[in-house]
Amino acid sequence: MSENGFVDYYELLQLSSNADTDTIERVFRHLAKKLHPDNKESADPDRFRLVVEAHRMLSNPETRAGYDVRYQEYWNSKWQLASEAGNGTAFDDDRETRESLLSLLYVQRRRDPRRPGLSDYDMARLLGKPFELVEFHVWYLKEKGWVERLDTGQLAISAMGVDQVEKSRLRLGNDHLLTAPEGADGRTARSGTAEVLQFPKDPDLNR
């Protein structure tokens, strides 16, 4: 079973998604006999129940058609995941997002120590990122101890997070995010037209 509750019945029955009805019936009878609770040698009640469910779903043309739609969506999602994992530039974007989140929380606590927090939704909106993506980076920053959840439910930068920011010798840019110190040519690092938080190469942030 997948993390969203979807069960790949074709994989369970060791069948191609193009298998015809006769093949489904033949494989089902074989597995049902093998896994049946009364089989003293190879009984597997849990898997037997799933095999029966798979047969019920795939042996009926109407229920199979509905299942095949979900099956295709499931594998489209898996293929998208594999494609993203193979795209190295995606991880560079992730690093920049984490840095920008720390930047926002640093500035918020520095400006208003009595109200140092921002909500997850506020940060997602300010950065123009999907909420689900921000959730991932918030989890990472919390595990590192760089941000903390307040009693209000908002997030705030921790003392460790402040140390992480300040050890990079960053300064505030005009857009109130943190930017790298000026280089020899007097310019700061930029992403598009907006200045962004730039850390030195840190193996933790690159994970």
- Boundary (domain end) residue, out of 85, 119, 138: 85
Identify whether 18 is part of a domain.
yes
The yes-or-no verdict on residue 206 having pLDDT over 70 is no
Residues 150 and 55 in one domain: no
The CATH number that applies at residue 29 is 1.10.287.110
pLDDT band, residue 84 (cuts 50/70/90): low
pLDDT in tens, 101-129: 888 899 889 888 888 988 888 888 888 88
65-80 burial: b if 16+ Cβ within 10 Å, else e: eebeeebeeeeeeeee
Identify the residue whose tokens are 């040519």. Answer: 185
Q: How confident is the model at residue 66 (pLDDT cuts 50, 70, 90)?
A: very high
- 76 — pLDDT class (breaks 50, 70, 90): confident
pLDDT tens string 162-178 = 988 887 654 445 555 55
- 159 belongs to a structural domain: yes
Residue 141: its pLDDT value, please?
93
Give percent of the chain above pLDDT 70.
71
pLDDT band per the 50, 70, 90 thresholds, residue 134: confident
Q: Which helix (H) or strand (E) holds 27?
A: helix 21-35
60 and 98, same domain (yes or no): no
Q: Do residues 129 and 170 both lie within one domain?
A: yes
Q: How far apart are CA 173 and CA 163, in angstroms?
A: 19
pTM of the full predicted structure?
0.45
Q: Span 137-149, mean pLDDT?
A: 92
Take residue 78 and report the two structure tokens written for it.
Answer: 């898996």
Residue 70 has pLDDT above 60, yes or no: yes
With bands split at pLDDT 50, 70 and 90, how would you rate the model's confidence at 98?
Answer: confident
Domain enclosing residue 53, as ranges: 9-85
- The total number of structural domains that make up the chain: 2
pLDDT of residue 200: 44
Range with the lowest mean pLDDT among 25-29, 129-133, 184-188?
A: 184-188
Q: What is the per-residue DSSP string for 110-160?
A: HH-TTS--B-HHHHHHHHT--HHHHHHHHHHHHHHTSEEE-TTS-EEE-HH
Kindly state the average pLDDT of the residues 135-156.
91
Based on the fold, state whether residues 29 and 43 are members of the same structural domain: yes
Residue 202 maps to a domain: no
- What proportion of the chain, given as a percentage, has pLDDT over 90? 37
- Quote the mean pLDDT of the chain: 79
pLDDT tens profile 47-56 = 999 999 999 9
> Where a domain ends, among 85, 116, 131?
85
Q: What CATH number is attached to the domain comprising 142?
A: 1.10.10.10
